[in-house]
Amino acid sequence: MNRSPGGLVAARLPLDPGPPIDPFALAGPDGILFHTGEQALVGLGRALTIALPHGLDSASDLDRVRHTLAAIPCEDRLGPVGIGVGVVGFGALPFERSRPASLVVPEITVGTDASGEMEWVTVVARDRSDLPSGSTGLRAKLHRMTAPRSGRAGGVLSPVRVDSLSSDESFEAMVAEALVAIGDGKVAKVVLARQVDVQMEATVEIAGLLRRWHELEPNCTVFAVPTPDGRFVGASPELLVERSGRRVHSRPLAGTAGPPTGTRGIVPPVELLESRKDGNEHRLVVEAIEQALRPLCSDLDVPPGPHLVHLHHLTHLGTSVTGTLAGAADGTVPTALHLVAALHPTPAVGGVPSAEACRLINRLEPRPRGNYAGPVGYVDSQGNGRWMVGIRAMSVEGRRARMAAGVGIVSGSEPAAELVEANLKLTAVFDALAPGVPFTTSPIPVGHGTTG
């Protein structure tokens, strides 16, 4: 029988009636947020940190996460099994899968569905006497925690400087070098990222940033997770993997179109499904995900072709892959985190073949990606969870925001068009950070009459 780590105990219970909780305000400057549109999860405090010393490369580390979460006894006062989430570990993992990482089990996890009719809270404590005896007063306590705690509440800041780690010319040269590797047969696809640092006039107010992002991209998953580099925040459109019981779902995105008005060098949305280059780029991603998931499933449905995924600025090719996980001899199925390890990095953010593409990324990109394009999400005590690809995102610390955008390079890619695409994706991120300010990769200061 597993012993609870540190003697931790938990209880899951409904919130008492009252005005709905604002998840963005509750997460504030230092909480965890995972907002899918259908469900919002907010994590407050830190009851436990579960280390992954070898990242996603150690099966024993992944198993330890499973056993640690399952060993925390959780008294369910909520009602029917399967409603809400019990003890959960959140994480934003580095792009480099072998780098050390960790998951955070919050002291309080607050959840709500899209309608706001189902609200609940899971409390993790050191002793049963520290668990709430009932839900009375919990809502009022949470509302008091939504008061602004730092930064300029609701204010929109201006950037004072934007610096790209690669000039337009050097980024195009990176793409050209990748095309040489493709022509030589070393890789079939590689994703290259352009990274940009933005200095704001004051400390970034995280709650307002996340709320703006949700308004811009209501169909994306908005997230905020603490990392050693500050807070990793974003609005990702790409589902890496979701597990619910034995059901598994992944929706990779690859292939990009610009705004309907047309963007020089980028295929318009109406032609995206017919684009041979984008179709090839997308096919490589879907094939890799099918290859990883099929051995783990008793059935797997892979549609014969992609559909269009429309966002605020961009349109992507997407394919919804679903299946049923096969049980092992002992009846267990892979947890959501084990599935992340089986999939990451997909060719949507790495390349084909993966190892050679990642070596090329490390050689060509000017600095490590950190959390950009890494998995971000959660796994619960039953092994269920949802993990997004950490794109359309930035790392924020104080006044500084570090953002990145990647483009998939395949045979037929053109360096100038890939530069345009990278800047379009950076614009989608920048618009949430500094709405109304034109995005530029020029190092000339902006926000004081010189917006480039």
Is residue 89 domain-resident?
A: yes
Residues 114 and 185 in one domain: no
Residue 116: pLDDT over 90: no
Whether residue 262 sits in one domain with residue 119? no
- Determine which of 88-97, 225-234, 251-260, 335-344 has the lowest per-residue pLDDT on average: 251-260
| CA–CA gap between residue 213 and residue 218 (Å, rounded) | 8
Per-residue model confidence as pLDDT tens digits over 145-183: 886 654 444 567 788 899 999 999 999 999 999 999 999
Q: Round to whole Å and give the CA distance between 86 and 47.
A: 14
Which position among 107, 119, 189, 418 bears the catalytic label?
Answer: 189
Tens digit of each residue's pLDDT (9 = 90 or more) over 91-107: 999 999 999 999 999 99
Instruction: Quote the Cα angle for 391-94-10, to 5°.
Output: 100
**What's the pTM?**
0.93
Flag whether 439 is in a domain.
Answer: no
How many domains does one find in the chain? 2
| Pair 31, 169 in one domain | no
One domain, residues 125 and 167: no
**Residue 118, pLDDT above cutoff 60:** yes
Query: Is 141 known to be catalytic?
Result: no
Answer whether residue 265 shows pLDDT above 60.
no
pLDDT per residue over 177-200, tens digit each?
Answer: 999 999 999 999 999 999 999 999
| % of residues, the chain, pLDDT over 70 | 91
Could you give the CA distance from residue 276 to residue 187 in angstroms, rounded to a whole number?
18
Report helix angle 336-343 to 276-293, nearest 10: 130
**DSSP secondary structure letters along 137-177:** THHHHHHHTTS--SS-TT----EEEEEESS-HHHHHHHHHH
Residues 421, 144 contacting (CB under 8 angstroms): no
Q: Is 29 found in the same domain as 89?
A: yes
Name the residue with tokens 């019990």: 86
Domain CATH for 308: 3.60.120.10
Q: Give the model's pLDDT for residue 4.
A: 75
What pLDDT score does 115 carry?
Answer: 67
* Cβ-contact 435, 212 below 8 angstroms: yes
Buried b (16+ CB within 10 A) or exposed e, 29-44: bebbbbbbeebbbbbb
Residue 378 placed within a domain: yes
How do beta strands 9-14 and 74-76 pair?
parallel
Asked if pLDDT for residue 27 goes beyond 60, the answer is yes
Mean pLDDT of the chain: 90
The predicted pLDDT at position 266 comes to: 66
Domain that holds residue 127: 5-132
Q: Which candidate in 96, 107, 205, 238 is catalytic?
A: 238
Q: Looking at the structure, do residues 318 and 403 belong to the same domain, yes or no?
A: yes
* Six-digit token string for 71: 């060993």
User: Is 446 domain-assigned?
Assistant: no
Q: H or E element: which one contains 119?
A: strand 119-125
The band of 392, judged by pLDDT with boundaries at 50, 70 and 90, is: very high
Residue 58 burial (CB count, 10 A): 14
For residue 440, being part of any structural domain is answered with no
Task: List C-alpha distances in Å: 439 to 68, 82, 208, 416, 430.
Answer: 45, 44, 19, 18, 7
Q: How far apart are CA 344 and CA 374, in angstroms?
A: 8
- Give the C-alpha separation, 310 to 313, whole Å: 8
169 and 126 co-located in one domain: no
Spatial separation of the C-alpha atoms in residues 26 and 44, rounded to whole Å: 8
For residue 48, the model assigns a pLDDT of: 97
Instruction: Decide if 33 contacts 41 (C-beta within 8 A).
Output: yes
Q: Pick from 116, 132, 148: which residue ends a domain? A: 132
H or E stretch covering 70: helix 59-70
pLDDT in tens, 5-15: 878 999 999 88
Residues 96 and 175 in one domain: no
Residues 227 and 313 reside in one and the same domain: yes
Is 189 a catalytic site residue?
yes
Percent of the chain whose pLDDT exceeds 90: 75
Confidence category of residue 447, pLDDT binned at 50, 70, 90:
very low
Distance CA 7, CA 16 (A): 28
Q: Given this model, what pLDDT does residue 188 score?
A: 97
Q: Is 120 in contact with 108 (CB distance < 8 Å)?
A: no
Q: What per-residue confidence (pLDDT) applies to 169? A: 96
Residues 21 and 125 in one domain: yes
Q: Which one of 132, 152, 172 terminates a domain?
A: 132
- 283-317 pLDDT tens trace: 999 999 999 999 999 999 999 999 999 998 899 99
| 127 in the same domain as 172 | no
pLDDT of residue 91: 98
pLDDT value at position 178?
Answer: 98
What is the C-alpha separation between 327 and 297, in angstroms, rounded? 8
Has residue 149 been placed in a domain?
no
pLDDT at residue 60 above 50?
A: yes
424 pLDDT higher than 60: yes
Phi, psi dihedral angles at 197 (to 5 degrees): -105, 135
**Residue 441 forms part of a structural domain:** no
Has residue 141 been placed in a domain?
no
The answer, yes or no, to whether residue 451 has pLDDT greater than 50, is: no
Q: Show the CA angle centred on residue 209, arms to residues 205 and 212, nearest 5°.
A: 145
Same domain flag for 230 and 274: yes
> Average pLDDT in the 386-395 region?
98
Confidence of residue 452 (pLDDT cuts 50, 70, 90): very low
